Amino acid sequence: MYATRALSPSFGAEVLDFNPSALQSKEAIDAIRALWAEHKLLLFRNQDFDEATLVQLSKEFGALEIHVREEYLSREHPEILYVSNIEREGRRIGILADTEVGWHYDQIYLPKPAVGSLLMADILPPEGGNTEFADMCAAFDALPEATRVQLEGCLANQSYEAFNQAYSVPTNTKQKARSPDIQQPLVRTHPVTGKKALYLCPGMTTEIVGWDAGESAEMLAFLFDWTTQPEFVYSHEWQPGDALLWDNACTMHRRDPFDPQHDRLMKRTTILPPEALAVPF
Ligand SMILES: [Fe+2]
């Protein structure tokens, strides 16, 4: 139904001639869902939808998570999280400012983690701020078989606190209580495709549960290097009007820094899995 153009040799596709109003048909929604599962990352170019449309479009793919960082939510549409370095009325309107943001899965720390995010460029700096994605199914498949067997069934500790210490600002007491450390499977099965993916990220994964501390650190260091090799990574250089929909069950991402003298505003929704597919994974 939609023509596509590959973004990299391994994953990601631009959906050509995409018009969000076409998603009023079930056939069109199913087609985008299928492409999302197949390519893991979809680019929609030359879009200018407003916040209401962003929310409406995102809801076609699942229920939306209201992010724990309420200070960075859109006032009119709390399903939208602002990622920005812009200050208005004496406060920063968005999360993550202008510095590098390390590799992470969005909200891997939730008991029922998000399976997707839709991120729309609103204001872009002239350069910098690329977002990189890593294909965690391909990274898992390419591991030596002995390592795959060793990792299956393991749990890892995921810490939003560790991410905030490295790349963001601290949460308040209430937010901390809503985002404690959590143990998740180190290898997860995708709810739609059934494919296995490494479910870990340098920004939030602190240890493999029950392993000797040294062995855990050594394995995680190996896996962080392994998963971020160029053959598993696509780097997206944003253009005005770009929106990216990614599969948050099998890709992680990071952001390059950009010149703080320029404004950047991105708007993100976070998509939850259908209840029946949420856990276990
Ligand atoms: Fe993110």
Ligand 1 centroid to Cα of residue 146, in Å, is: 31
CA of 194 to the centre of ligand 1 (A): 23
281 in a structural domain: no
Q: Does residue 256 fall inside a structural domain?
A: yes
pLDDT at 25: 86
For ligand 1, the distance from its centroid to the CA atom of residue 96, given in whole angstroms, is 9
Domain count, the chain: 1
Question: Which residues are CB-contacts of 212 (< 8 A; sequence separation ≥ 6)?
Answer: none
pLDDT in tens, 186-206: 999 998 899 999 999 999 999
- pLDDT value of position 17: 85
What pLDDT, on the 0 to 100 scale, is given for residue 117?
96
In a domain, 228, yes or no: yes
Mean pLDDT computed over 107-112:
91
Domain membership flag for residue 99: yes
| Ligand 1: centre distance to CA 77 (Å) | 19
Give mean pLDDT, residues 82-108: 95
129 CA from centroid of ligand 1 (Å): 13
276: CA distance to ligand 1 center in Å? 25
The two structure tokens encoding residue 101: 């943001």
> Residue 277 has what pLDDT?
78
The reply to whether 280 falls in a domain is no
Instruction: Grade residue 22 by pLDDT with cuts at 50, 70 and 90.
Output: confident
| Cβ pair 263, 88 in contact under 8 A | no
Q: How far is the CA of 253 from the centre of ligand 1 (A)?
A: 6
Ligand 1 centroid from CA 124, angstroms: 17
- CATH number of the domain residue 199 falls in: 3.60.130.10
Q: Please report which confidence band the pLDDT of residue 49 belongs to, taking 50, 70 and 90 as the band edges.
A: confident
Lookup: tokens for 214: 């040294």
Query: For residue 81, is it within any domain?
Result: yes
67 alpha carbon to ligand 1 midpoint, in Å? Answer: 12
pLDDT at 279: 73
How high is the pLDDT of residue 136? 98
The CA R_g of the chain, rounded to the nearest whole Å, is: 18
Provide the mean pLDDT of the chain: 94
d(Cα 241, Cα 54) in Å, to the nearest integer?
A: 12
What 3-state DSSP class applies to 86?
coil
Residue 278 binned pLDDT confidence (cut-offs 50, 70, 90): confident
Q: Which amino acid is at 17?
A: D
Residue 278 located in a structural domain: no
Find the domain containing 209 and state its range.
4-273
Average pLDDT over residues 225-251: 97
Pick from 265, 259, 7: which is nearest to 132 by CA? 7
State in Å: Cα 275 to ligand 1 middle.
22
CA of 105 to the centre of ligand 1 (A): 6
Q: Is the pLDDT of residue 275 over 90?
A: no
Does 280 score more than 80 pLDDT? Answer: no
State in Å: Cα 83 to ligand 1 middle: 9
Residue 64: inside a domain:
yes
The pLDDT tens digits for 54-74 are 999 999 999 999 999 999 999
- 142 falls in which pLDDT band (50, 70, 90)? very high
In angstroms, what is the span from residue 161 Cα to ligand 1's centroid? 14
